[in-house]
Each structure stands twice: as structure tokens, then as C-alpha cells.
Chains A and B, each alone.
Chain A
Amino acid sequence: MTEDTSAAEIDLQVGKDVIGRSPWEIFWRQFRRDRWALAGGIMVIIMIILAITAPLFAKAVGHGPNEVNLKALDQFGLQGAPFWWPCPPAQEVVFTGGTAESLGQSGCTAVPGYWLGVEGPGRDQFIRILYGARTSLFIAFFATGLALIIGVILGIMAGFFRGKVDTAISRATDVVLSLPILLLALGLAAACGATAEGCLGGLIQPGLILVGLIIGLFSWPYISRIIRGQVLSMREKEFVEASRSLGSSDWRIMSKEILPNVAAPLIVYTTLIIPSNILFEAGLSFLGVGVPDSTASWGAMLSASGSAFTYAPWLMIFPGLALFMTTLAFNLVGDGLRDALDPRTQG
């Protein structure tokens, strides 16, 4: 106590003002020093803006995300290249075989007006990627939000009540964690997504929501475990005891005392599972059980590009880059947040 006081006095003596900083300010001072995290944050913001303004771009270039332009395909139905792509000079070749005769043109065709080339049956890949960002962001927020809600509620309950509640929730967590998630998700998505009726009597229809539900319902245990650990130690802290001695209800303690204090690890962890959820959606779509064709998805675009790599590499490069940049950005932000929010890290 005495030492503390004297330290303050020394501070005063050298004439520095003591600035009272809010936790937000402290966080921000830490965070902005991390250039990688800042870059990640900017990328995320750009992506969100692009996703929101996708219709404007579609209007500007004149092609919607599902708009088919067969003139952007060559005579064999192969997709045209970006307008700046170095296509080798075309040669006309006559083919006669069996009863057919045709005139073919070799090489690829660069199509004016298509910034990132042509996808599927003559769709604009640039616009499709922008709309794919909407899909990814929807999954990022919807599925992660779902996981967050379930994980936080169960995690706090398990840590706070301990005993039988903890045992039940923790074992349930173990069970979900031990499920082969990808296989189960594949099965569920196939069962509910492959038939016109959906499943559970039409309650669950194929589409983005279904994919979001599947991802959300499988990623909550990670959050719940972390929260439970935090709560277990926190419930013994003095401020919780104080609140309890004042007669606060369990609900009040959980929501007003404990929840705000687990916010930091929660934010960090959430930021880190967002990219893995985005990848999960891409994976499901890649395997053909994700969102339907009318919803643009980077995973589905990558899936279609595999066989085309030798003759239309742009089909793989651009959606791949979009997915890569997005997951990288969220990971950078997540790392930065962890550093900034952890009191033990020194900036």
C-alpha cells in the first residue's frame, strides 16, 4: 500500500498526467500496434462492404449472379477466360467422325466485360465471388452465432452449477466432440438436402439455413468447454461471492457478473472459429451437399473447378484466393484480439 502510493506520487512528480483508460482504450492501444491484425481487420471490413454492395457491382457490369450468358461460353460449352487472360491464338479445325461433322476452335477465349472470367453456364465469376462472400459471411455469423449461444449457455451453466448439471453437459459435450462431424454433417446434409421435401416432414429444407444449422450445431462444444473452464475459476472469485452475499439470484450472477468477465476469451475464440466455419461450409459445398446451385458458394465453385484446372485455371484461382484471403483475415484478427485482450501479453 505504501509503495503504491509513493509510486503514484513519483508519477505526479515527473509531471505526467495519469490518464484513466477504459478497457476499450487499453484494448485498442494494444490492438492497433499489431499491424497484421489491423490488416486482417481491414480485409474483413472490405469483404463485408463488398458483400453488401455486391448488387451494385452486378448492376455496374450488367450481369447478375445467376444470369446466364451463353455467348460467354465457347461452342463446346467451356467457360471464357477473364478479358485480360493470355489465351493462345485460336485455330480452326474441322472434325469428321461417325456421322458428325463440325468446325471447332482450339484454345481458350477471353471474354470482354468479365473481370475474373466465366463460371458455370456463362455466369460472371467476379459477381459470383462477391455473392459467394455473402454466403460465407452469412455462415460466419449465423452458424457461429448459433454455436455461441448454445456454447455460452451450456458452458456457464456447467461451470456455475457444477455437480450433476456439469456432468450432464460435459458428457454431452464429449459425445458431440467424439462424433465424426464431417461424416455426420455429410449424412445430414445429404438426407435433408437431397430430396425435394427436406427432412423432418419438410421442417428442414435444403439451403443456406440448413447448412448453417448443421455447422452451428456441431461447433458449440468448443465454446462451451472453454467457457466452462473460465466459469469454474471465476465463480470462486470475491466479486461473485460479494454478489451472492448481497442475495443476487443465480441468473443475475451468471448474466451480470460472470458473462461480462468471460467476454474476452469468448470474443477471441469466436473470431477464430469463424474461419473454420467458413471453411466447413466451403467443404460441404465442395462435396456437393452444401447450398444449392442458385446460391453462390466458393466451395461449390472450387468443386466445379477441379476438373477444369488444365483448361480453365481461373475457375480455381479466384474462388480459392477469395476463400484463402477471408480465412486468413479472420485468423489474423483473431490472433490480434487474443494478444490485445490477454492482460499477460505485453505490447
Chain B
Amino acid sequence: MKRSLRFIAFVAVLGIVAAACGGNGSTSSSSTDTGSSSADLSGGTLKMAMLADVTAAFDPQKEYYSVTWEYYRCCLLRTLMSYKGVPTAEGGAEIFPDLAASEPEVSADGLTWTFTLKQGVNYGDPFGDVSVTAGDFIRALERTADPAANTGGYSFYYSVIKGFDDYAGGKADTISGLSAPDDSTLVIELTEPTGDLGYRFAMATTAPIPPSGDAKYGAAEGHDRNYGRFLVATGPYQFQGAADLDFTGPAKDQTPVAGYVPGRSIVLERNPQWDAATDDLRPAYPDAIEVTIGGDNNDLYNQVSSGDIDFVVDGAVPPNKIKEYTTDPDLQNRLNVYPSDAVRYVSFNLAVPPFDDVHVRKAINWALDKQGFRQVRGGETTGQIAGHIWVNSLENNLLSDYNPYATPNDSGDQQQAMDEMKQSKYDKNGDGVCDDPACENILTITDREDPYPDQAAILKDNLSPLGITLDVKELERGTMYNKCNDANSQHAMCAGPAWGKDYADGYTFGGPLFDSSGLWESCCNYSLLGATADQLSGWGYDVTSVPTVDAKVDECSAAQGDARFQCWADLDKQLMEEVVPWVPYLFDNSVDILSPNVTNYSFDQFAGLAAFDHMAVTGG
């Protein structure tokens, strides 16, 4: 894959975090079910709540947020390939043909992919008589490449398509690598073999956009900043009032859909054109989905307990609820816990002393009380202690028992930490305690929401025997991610971030997090790995060199099959033992509690959230 990561807004991470914190689920005695025996589960209105709105008002070319991705997957937008909305064990990390009639044909050299479309799939209102054609995907990809429409999106994944970057740069009127020989055939030519292309065509930025007159971007024409509010659905649901959309007049005079009021509410109704016969991935149980936006986390979960709402999408189940639902036999079946394929970590800025010394970074890896960090999140239900960086599913479990800094009970080991510190140039007298002024009041950025202030208190406590004191700044989550990402901020440690996969491939960790293409102003290489001396001095650092793993990331992203897993695992080990940019502490679980009304639940491994289309409610 090309290393041309564009700017990824912090919201991507935010999304991942929220997803990880949030919900997922649970459930119940009825097993997850994508089959046809579902008639008895259909009907009713699923009532959900979100603490915060989606990040780009549902514009598919901009949304890089797991919550929105779930809305797209479950309900609104079908893609060539898609997921079943189930956990990994049931195939939830795998892609299946969705709008494609079958698996794509790949040429022998891996450079040409041909998708054949299903017949008879029409758009939702107001394009009910329009069928999805191959040209509609080209339209979506052109919009994906267009800098005027893709702010905050993830177009870097598509730079492997021939002519994509030329179109993005305004050097071409079309993307030369995309063609539609007929309405049901899409041919994609690549600049390099890309084994995971199917996954990239399971992301909503590639979902078809219907034609509207002869406008270049079809229904999205003129809606560079707000297409999400005019979104034309292909999935089982559409925004309420989609039938009233009218694309005939000038874009600025068009009235947005009534079923989405930014910052307040989302209402989804059934898409009358959706035909279950063409869609074996989505059971689509509820007749309608109503979502309120805003509120207080604890209050929302109380409302779930009382049955006023069924589910909180992006919240964090409070520890007392986790306790209540794990220890009360009557409530246990309403608690659901699944690994969300995200890792939580503390990152070091390798250009800020004392973290330019690997021994200090290792010492902190020894000292950190990971068990304590997890305890204040709500205990073992909230995840598995992390011994390395990539979540195990992305490495085919090659390192599932690996932890180079294993300590008794994962509670940290002060002696090991001090032994490591003795080797540091910042411990001049070799007593295991840092005696350099660089270790005092280290600028540490974290989230101001629970449980991060508690974690920061534990961190301070863990590091004080090493002679390290922290100046902790607690910030609003979005600000925190911005500061962590901004190399100019001179932060030394970032204590609140999390990172989740975009799809089931190690590159979605290695590229953005550790490759130099993820450096400011891209995202999210907080440790500044691979930064050049010029970049470092430009950002105002005195340190002139930091380690790089660019070559290894390139090597891994070109590898295939088992070698690819092995390569990411090797890079993981290299990072843990030689580079040490992080202390990873938790492989996150998605923890969800459900209201008494919910009769079916499934966890969607793709978004790391509950699968909304699998949720069934009483009263149907």
C-alpha cells in the first residue's frame, strides 16, 4: 500500500475509543442469527442513545468513525463487499459479497480486480426506481478522491487505484483505473498488488451514489459539505422522510432529510426498496430505529436499566453497572462483552527527554500497573491485559502469550524498573532513580473523562519511585487527540489514547501509528517514529534523531498470507523490545448492557459495536 496517508482527523481515533467504550453487546439467550428463522424477532422500535453526534453528519466520504460505520453497515449503505454483523468466531471479521454478486475476480498479477454486481438492487427513496450500477461506484470513488469532499476521510486506502492520486490532484478528469464496461461490471486497475482490496471496498466511502440528472457527483452534487443530510440509502433502512427529498432544484435550496437532526436525533425507517432476497447479511429486525443524541453517561445507562431506552451506542458502562450486571444472575444475560480489536496505550514522544533514552521507556513499561489501569476501568470485564501492540486477531494469535514486560499479577515491578533505569544516562549515580531535571514535571496529556484522571493518578504513583514526576493536563477528548498528534505541542507522554482496526489487517495499525506517513499533520504517529532531523528541529525539538520502522512497515504491507501475519508480529516485537514507543496496557473489550426490551443482540466485529440490525425488541 502506498504511504500517502492523508490527514486523518482525530475523530477516527475518537470513534474507535467511543466504540470501544461503548456498546456492544450483549445478550441474550437467543443466539445471534442471520438466518431466515427471524420472522418472530422482527418489528418494534429500537430506541438508542448516543452521547455525541457522529463526526461528519453522515457524509460517507468524511466519516472515519466506528459508530457511523456501524450505521452504514447495518442500515444505510450497502457496499460491494460487507460484513455479517457478528463476532469473529462467527465470521464477523470476514467480508462477503453484498452488492457484488460473487467474490471479485483477480488477475494473475493481482493488478486487475473485476466485480460483478447483483441484479435488481434499487436505491431507497426518492430513487426507488433507480438500480445500482457500476458507474455509481466510480462516482463514489471520485468523490472520495476529491479534496473538497473527503475532509477527514480515509482516501489514502484508495491511492493504489491507478489514476486516483492524479484525480485527487486535479490532474485528470476521471480515475483512469476505474471502468464500467457495462452496468453490472466494475473493473479496477491497481498500481501494485493489494491483497486486502476487498476490505477496502467494504468501507462506506465506496458505497454507490445514485445519478441525478447529469451532475458529476449525482445526488451528492453541490453537497460537498452536507451530503450526509441528503443521503440516499441502499440498505434496509433510510432516514425518516427520505421520500420527501427533492434533488431537482439547486443544491442550496434543497431541504435536508427530516430523520436526522444534527446534534439532536436520528430516526431510521424501513427502506421500502430493500429486498431481503438480495441481502443475506442483514436480518434487519426492528421496524424503526430512534436515536437521541446527548446526555450524561451515567444517566443514560440508568435509563437502559429501567428500560426507557434500549441501548447506549457510544457510552462507557460505569463500573457499578458492570458490577451489578455481572453479579446479579437476573441481569447477567443483558450484559455482553466482546473484544473490540482495539488497544489502549500510553505513548512516549521520543523527541522529548528523558524519553529519547530507551531505558527510561523500558523502565516505565516495567513500572506501569496495568492491572490497576484495568481495575479503575471496571475490572477484567473491560479487556485483556496487553503485552504487546497489535491486537491478537491481526497477528493470527502469533503473539498471544508474548509479553516482554510481564510482571507479577501485571501490577508492575518496581525492582525491574529501577534496574532498567540504572542503565539510563538520566540516572547518573546508578541508584535506579532518575536524577536529571528532565524527569521532573513531564508534560503528560490525558482525557478528562472517567476513568482517565484515575489512571493518571495511578501512573504518577507508579513513576514516582523512579524519580519521575508528571505534569498532567486533563483535556476534552478531541483536544487531547489533537495535542497528542500535534508534534509542535512538545508533549512528552500521551496517557489517554486508544487505537482500533479499520479492517482485519495489520496495516491498519502499522501504517497510521508507526510509519513516518502518520506524522503530523497526518495521524497518529504520536511517538514521532521516522521523523527526520529537519522535521524535528522544525517542530522545535533539541533531539536530532529518533528510530524509524518505515522499512519494516513497507515490507509487511507487501507481504502476503502467513508471512504477512509473521511480519506484523516481528514488527510488534521489534517495537516492544527495541523501539519501545508505547506502554500498551489493554486489549479492549466492548461492554454493553441492554434494556429488558431487547430480545436479540449480536456484536459486529467490523465496527467493534453492537450490530443494530441484529437487535430485536419486544413490542414488534
Contact = CB atoms under 8 A, between A and B. Distances in A.
Interface of A: 66-68, 70, 73-78, 91, 93, 95-100, 102, 104-106, 120-121, 123, 194-196, 288, 292-294, 306-308, 310-312
A75 B332 contact: no
Given A66-B460, A76-B320, A77-B378, A293 B369 contact: no
B233 interface: no
A121 B455 contact: yes
A294 B472 contact: yes
A41 B352 CA distance: 52
Contact of B379 (A75, A97, A288): A75
18 contacts: A67-B461, A70-B458, A73-B376, A76-B378, A78-B319, A93-B326, A93-B328, A93-B332, A97-B335, A98-B87, A98-B337, A99-B89, A100-B589, A104-B379, A195-B473, A196-B483, A294-B460, A311-B323
Interface stretch (B121-129, B170-178, B446-454): B446-454
Given A70-B369, A104-B326, A307-B298, A97 B457 contact: no
B456 A293 contact: yes
A226 B297 CA distance: 45
A311 B318 CA distance: 12
B245 to A, nearest CB: 39
Interface stretch (B206-214, B474-482, B503-511): B474-482
B320 A98 contact: no
A105 B327 contact: yes
Contacts of A96: 332
A95 B332 contact: yes
A76 B375 CA distance: 6
Contacts of A67: 461
Contacts of A76: 319-320, 322-323, 326, 375, 378-379, 381
A77 B451 contact: yes
Given A70-B375, A99-B339, A194-B475, A106 B328 contact: yes
A95 B381 contact: yes
Interface in B430-466: 443, 445, 448, 451, 453-458, 460-461
Interface string B368-379: 010110011111
Contacts of A310: 320
Contacts of A98: 25-26, 87, 336-338, 589, 603
Contacts of B320: 76, 78, 307-308, 310-312
A308 B319 CA distance: 10
A93 B472 CA distance: 38
A131 to B, nearest CB: 14
A78 B451 CA distance: 12
B380 interface: yes
Counting chain A CB atoms within 10 Å of each CB, which of B27, B337, B378 scores highest? Answer: B337
B408 interface: no
Nearest to A66: B457
Contacts of A78: 319-320, 323
A57 B458 CA distance: 22
Contacts of A106: 323, 327-328
Given A67-B461, A76-B378, A121-B458, A100 B329 contact: no
B381 A100 contact: yes
Contacts of B443: 196
Contact of B335 (A77, A95, A194): A95
Interface string B477-505: 00100010000010100000000000000
B375 A75 contact: yes
Main secondary structure, interface of A, reads: loop
A97 B451 contact: no
Q: Kindly name the residue among B375, B443, B472, B479 whose own CB sees the greatest number of chain A CB atoms within 10 A.
A: B375
* 6 tightest A-B CB contacts, nearest first: A121-B454, A100-B337, A307-B298, A106-B327, A95-B326, A196-B473
A287 to B, nearest CB: 12
Nearest to A91: B327
A195 B338 contact: no
Contacts of A311: 320, 323
Contacts of A292: 472, 474
A293 B332 contact: no
A44 B479 CA distance: 41
Contacts of B411: 70
A102 B457 contact: no
Contacts of A100: 337-338, 380-381, 589
A169 to B, nearest CB: 39
Contacts of B372: 68, 70, 121
A269 to B, nearest CB: 36
A288 B448 CA distance: 9
Given A73-B375, A307-B298, A293 B457 contact: yes
Given A77-B319, A100-B589, A196 B475 contact: yes
Given A194-B476, A293-B474, A311-B320, 11 more contacts: A74-B323, A77-B376, A95-B327, A98-B603, A100-B589, A104-B327, A120-B454, A121-B458, A194-B475, A196-B443, A293-B457
Nearest to A121: B454
Given A75-B375, A97-B27, A68 B323 contact: no
A194 B474 CA distance: 7
Nearest to B411: A70
Nearest to A308: B320
Contacts of B337: 97-100
A98 B327 CA distance: 16
A307 B302 CA distance: 10
Given A93-B326, A93-B327, A102 B380 contact: yes
Contacts of B476: 194
A268 B289 CA distance: 61
Contacts of A123: 457
Given A77-B378, A78-B320, A95-B327, A120 B483 contact: no
A104 B324 CA distance: 10
A106 B479 CA distance: 38
Nearest to B296: A307
A98 B380 CA distance: 13
A297 to B, nearest CB: 13
Contacts of A288: 448
A77 B375 CA distance: 5
Interface in B412-443: 443
A68 B461 CA distance: 7
B570 to A, nearest CB: 27
Interface in B308-364: 318-320, 322-323, 326-329, 332-333, 335-339
A293 B329 CA distance: 36
B209 to A, nearest CB: 36
B325 to A, nearest CB: 8
A253 to B, nearest CB: 50
